């Protein structure tokens, strides 16, 4: 299904200028037919969320390129922080092992005295 910029704006609750700007920056692909653009609905909803937009309602409160926070995002963030902490612990352990290994590899022999004078 192909939509015009005006139809796309109504479907997403965004302004026409927001849709037009997304096309110009390459974030949203559209086909140019004469002086108008045709936007594929799937492409439109890939970039913008569909809303039950009311006429004249602008939904530009969210910054471009962000999506609403999903409930699973909190779980994902917590898991990523735990993974990061484990990685930091691993790095610290490896640094300690390397320090111990370097100490063991240094020359521990005492200097010998020469018996000959030259």
Spell out the domain ranges in the chain: 2-47, 71-106
Q: pTM of the full predicted structure?
A: 0.43
CA distance 46 to 41: 8
Q: What is the pLDDT of residues 76-92, one digit of tens each?
A: 888 899 999 999 999 99
Sheet holding 2-3, edge to edge: 2-3, 36-40, 31-33
Q: For the residues of 70-111, what is the DSSP string, one character each?
A: PHHHHHHHHHHHHHHHHHHHHHHHHHHHHHHHHHHHS--PPP
The band of 103, judged by pLDDT with boundaries at 50, 70 and 90, is confident
């Amino acid at each position: 299904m192909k939509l015009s910029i005006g139809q796309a704006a109504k479907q997403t609750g965004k302004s026409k200028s927001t849709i037009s700007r997304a096309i110009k920056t390459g974030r949203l692909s559209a086909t140019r037919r004469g002086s108008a653009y045709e936007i594929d609905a799937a492409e439109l909803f890939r970039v913008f969320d569909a809303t039950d937009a009311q006429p004249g309602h602008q939904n530009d409160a969210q910054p471009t390129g962000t999506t609403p926070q999903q409930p699973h995002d909190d779980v994902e963030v917590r898991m990523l922080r735990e993974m990061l902490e484990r990685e930091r612990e691993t790095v610290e352990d490896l640094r300690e092992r390397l320090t111990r290994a370097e100490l063991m590899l240094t020359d521990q022999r005492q200097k010998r005295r020469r018996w000959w004078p030259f």
